[in-house]
Amino acid sequence: MARRDAALPSESGRRPAHVYLVGAGSGDVELLTLKAARLLQEADAVVYDRLVGEEVLALIPAGRERYDVGKARGHHSVPQAEIGALLVRLAGEGKSVVRLKGGDPGVFGRMGEELAVLAEAGVGAEIVPGITAASAACAAMGIPLTDRAHAQQLRLVTAQLCRGDGEPDWSTLARRDETLIIYMGLAKIDAICRGLRRGGLPDDWPVMLVANASLPEQASLVGTLTDMPAKLAAEPLPSPCLVVVGSVVSMGAASPARRNGRGDLAPLS
């Protein structure tokens, strides 16, 4: 099998400007792709988000440039425009740059904005996918994303559509034949549950919240559209947290075991 050679230096002695947009996966270093791990070893500079696991960051060799541009809900430590400018500058200096994003860079990771900035500056880019939170959370809880008897389709949405007048069309999201995954939905769980019930899902429709999927501190809540807000109030979960809506959730509840944050089988409590 042929292997692509690394980019050769230009006549000026610098390598062609290039940025790798790399998915760091859900946080568990063992779920990182081989390609992502190799690029981290080879990078001159790594620009990373707050959702990147510490064990993943530990793969970066000592002495390499690191830039923490992490964003948290309600607080953007580095504006998106500055992140784009940083990537362009580092690549222009002839450095191999890894833009490391939690999960998959193409799933609610603002990758499109950074690709546009790089393209405008004439900087080459390559996308390296990672395991997104939807896959990691459901795998960790021992349930499938799709199933012939439960969900024939899968939909990934962001709860940011719930802001202000941007409320989604709940009737289109309230389907019994699919698994609905809502990213960044923890603070909007009341609106989500009410909206899906108004859209046509029954009061007892299964809902699962998973925080820190695949990590040792993983935590989860299982309930229904009716009782989930009260359950979350009684047992708060940290962010990041994924909302899983669909009858596949009941498959996990019926299983003899679930997987813990490291992917090992553990008895149900």
- Catalytic residue from among 28, 49, 104, 188: 49
Mean pLDDT of 218-227: 96
Q: Is the pLDDT of residue 252 over 90?
A: no
- Segment among 136-140, 186-190, 239-243, 251-255 with least mean pLDDT: 251-255
Residue 76 has what pLDDT? 56
Band (pLDDT 50/70/90 cuts) for residue 147 is very high
Mean pLDDT of 96-125: 95
Residue 45 has what pLDDT? 97
Residue 264 has what pLDDT? 42
Residue 187 has what pLDDT? 92
Residue 84 has what pLDDT? 96
Band (pLDDT 50/70/90 cuts) for residue 239 is confident
Let me know whether 235 and 144 are in one domain.
yes
Let me know whether 185 and 157 are in one domain.
yes
Residue 164 has what pLDDT? 54
Within-domain flag for 176: yes
Let me know whether 70 and 158 are in one domain.
no
Let me know whether 33 and 56 are in one domain.
yes
Within-domain flag for 29: yes
By percentage, how much of the chain surpasses pLDDT 70? 83
What CATH number does the domain containing 87 carry? 3.40.1010.10
Tens of pLDDT, residues 41-85:
999 999 999 889 899 999 999 999 999 998 655 555 789 999 999
Q: How many domains does the chain have?
A: 2
Mean pLDDT of 193-201: 97
Residue 256 has what pLDDT? 36
Domain boundary among 128, 143, 173: 128
Q: Is the pLDDT of residue 1 over 80?
A: no
By percentage, how much of the chain surpasses pLDDT 90? 74
Residue 161 has what pLDDT? 61
Let me know whether 123 and 143 are in one domain.
no
pTM: 0.84
Let me know whether 176 and 77 are in one domain.
no
Let me know whether 178 and 227 are in one domain.
yes
Let me know whether 145 and 254 are in one domain.
yes
Let me know whether 144 and 254 are in one domain.
yes
How far is the C-alpha of 38 from the C-alpha of 137, rounded, in Å? 25
Domain boundary among 85, 108, 128: 128
Let me know whether 30 and 118 are in one domain.
yes
How far is the C-alpha of 237 from the C-alpha of 212, rounded, in Å? 9
Output 98 or 215, whichever has higher pLDDT: 98
Tens of pLDDT, residues 172-188:
999 999 999 999 999 99
Mean pLDDT of 92-99: 96
Domain boundary among 99, 128, 157: 128
Residue 136 has what pLDDT? 94
Residue 176 has what pLDDT? 96
Let me know whether 122 and 140 are in one domain.
no
Under the phi-then-psi rule, with left for phi > 0, alpha for psi from -120 to 50, and beta for the rest, what region is 263?
A: left
Residue 182 has what pLDDT? 96
Within-domain flag for 1: no
- Catalytic residue from among 44, 71, 190, 227: 71
The domain of 201 spans: 133-267
Tell me the pLDDT of the chain averaged across its residues. 86
165 catalytic, yes or no?
A: no
49 catalytic, yes or no?
A: yes
